[in-house]
Amino acid sequence: MLKVEHIGIAVKELSASVPLFEKLLNTPCYKTETVETEKVNTAFFQKGTTKIELLESSTPDGVIAKFVEKKGEGMHHIAFEVEDIVSEMERLKKEGFQLLNEQPKKGADNKLIAFLHPKTTSSVLIEICQEIK
């Protein structure tokens, strides 16, 4: 793994959270995007090399809606950048981690993504991601 690529934060409404984070981080949101396959609307912020991704469910039954209903708004996942997502997925499986998807999926911000099950990562949802070239 190369670095922490971003920290994902689940929110109820981007319309309320984007202005809040713009004030908090003293920087504008640089990108919003809908990821249909994940049923999520995203908003991205960057301070130095650190990125924050806000996640709002695009449907009432989406994963983020269920997360917010159960746990409230807050940290959802930590994403690590990798050079080769397929080989990293194979390595992690061999090391005993459970993947939530068997193949990389297209995610937000021009990335291929895969998630590790929190039960195998001390209850932290881990995303690995690779820039699509």
pLDDT tens digits, one per residue of 90-130 = 999 999 999 999 999 999 999 999 999 999 999 999 999 99
**Percent of the chain's residues with pLDDT above 90:** 98
Whether the pLDDT of residue 1 is over 90: the answer is: no
Confidence category of residue 86, pLDDT binned at 50, 70, 90: very high
Give the dihedral sign, CA 12/15/19/21.
Answer: positive
β strands within 14-118, DSSP E: 31-35, 40-47, 50-57, 74-81, 105-106, 111-116
For residue 117, the model assigns a pLDDT of 97
Reported pTM: 0.94
**Structural element, H or E, at residue 130:** strand 126-131
Judge whether residue 27 has pLDDT over 90: yes
